[in-house]
Amino acid sequence: FMYFTCREAEVCYSHHTWQGVVASVRFTPLTLLLLLFLSWLADAQPTEAEREVWEQVDVVLKDAKGILDELQAYKGAGQEIREAIQNPSDEALQEQAWAAVVPLVGKLKKFYEFSQRLEAALHSLLGALTSETYSDPTQHLEREQALAKQFAEILHFTLRFDELKMTNPAIQNDFSYYRRTLSRMRINNVPAEGENEVNNELANRISLFYADATPMLKTLSDGTTKFVSENKNLPIENTTDCLSTMASVCKVMLETPEYRSRFTSEETVSFCLRVMVGVIILYDYVHPVGAFAKSSKIDMKGCIKVLKDQPPNSVEGLLNALRYTTKHLNDDSTNKTIKSMLQ
């Protein structure tokens, strides 16, 4: 077998020639890590075998940036709501608050519906990346680079969405006011313009979605758990090994100066950090004993150290995601050092 050095692998990738020989070449582990991550950062193109799933997921990912832009620009109707509550007999102020809230609820409905599309996209990717087409997750990630990149992009979007949501209390305030007002209008038999936009049943589901601190991450965690339970013919290791391998790729890229120096921007670092945390949380949900147990294939101490080595302001949300949205952190079997690192 031929062995590439890291530099040779990079050159081969940069000339777009390596995909044609990847099936006949065995890479050293470090070279493979570098090669995989380079493909995620670059424009990894789908092979014919990947194309059907890739195109389905691509439609969803094309809308993801717009969702983040809308969420980042979400200002809420706090002032109108306060004035309406302080002046309950002023019909003009009640109408102004309602008029301000209704279009915002339309946006919140759009975000919720996008979470359902994202979950469906995740199922498609997991189905491809954990199938028995190849014998191990490394081969999947090696030969289905475009799908691995899409999986990483979904996780990056998910963590970014939840970071923005957690710092915007207006979202829940607006939706709570909408539901209270809608209920009062029904009691008084007042026609509620906008009720057709979000009926009561849908409002219940949306309310539960936003009640969670990290709603997109919960959607994906539940979706991954559902995928595993619905595909009992697939060994669970197919899923957990895929997730742990991606976590290892991100950790090594972030902690190795030679690789870290190749990052062209801080946004690349953020991308890698979010993907790492995302796959850890999914792993923790689907693995029988979770990500923090001794038998876990994820180096949790190393991953937490990588996070703590970043500027605090840039990773507090990610550390909180590990603290508060994982399933097994507080298990008795979790190493005390790990718990201490996350305190």
- Determine the Cα angle at 210 with ends 206 and 211, to 5°: 110
| Positive or negative: CA dihedral 4, 6, 8, 13 | positive
Cα separation, 196 vs 66, in Å, equals: 24
Q: How far is CA 340 from CA 92, 270, 305, 308, 330, in A?
A: 54, 24, 12, 12, 11
Does residue 214 contact residue 253 with C-beta atoms inside 8 Å?
no
Reduced to 3 states (helix: H, G, I; strand: E, B; else coil), residue 332 is: coil
- Determine the Cα angle at 161 with ends 213 and 279, to 5°: 80
Strands (E), the chain: none
For residue range 78-126, what is the model confidence (pLDDT) as tens digits? Answer: 999 999 999 999 999 999 999 999 999 999 999 999 999 999 999 999 9
Cα separation, 148 vs 36, in Å, equals: 9
Cα separation, 332 vs 177, in Å, equals: 41
Average pLDDT over residues 163-175: 94
Cα separation, 123 vs 182, in Å, equals: 35
- Residue 40 pLDDT greater than 90, yes or no: no
- pLDDT value of position 39: 56
Does residue 56 contact residue 121 with C-beta atoms inside 8 Å?
yes
Contacts of 293 (CB under 8 A, 6+ apart): 287, 328, 331, 333, 334
pLDDT class of 258 with cuts at 50, 70, 90 = confident
Q: pTM, whole model, 2 decimals?
A: 0.84
Give the 3-state secondary structure percentages of the chain, helix then strand then coil, rounded to 5.
75, 0, 25
Cα separation, 161 vs 193, in Å, equals: 29
Say which residue, 157 or 145, is predicted with more confidence: 157
- Residue 6 pLDDT greater than 70, yes or no: no
Token pair, residue 175, equals 């939706």
- pLDDT value of position 19: 42
Cα separation, 157 vs 66, in Å, equals: 11
Cα 284 from chain centroid? 14
Q: Report which of 145, 154, 304 is spatially closest to residue 224, judged by C-alpha positions.
A: 154
Reduced to 3 states (helix: H, G, I; strand: E, B; else coil), residue 150 is: helix
Does residue 161 contact residue 67 with C-beta atoms inside 8 Å?
yes
- Residue 327 pLDDT greater than 70, yes or no: yes
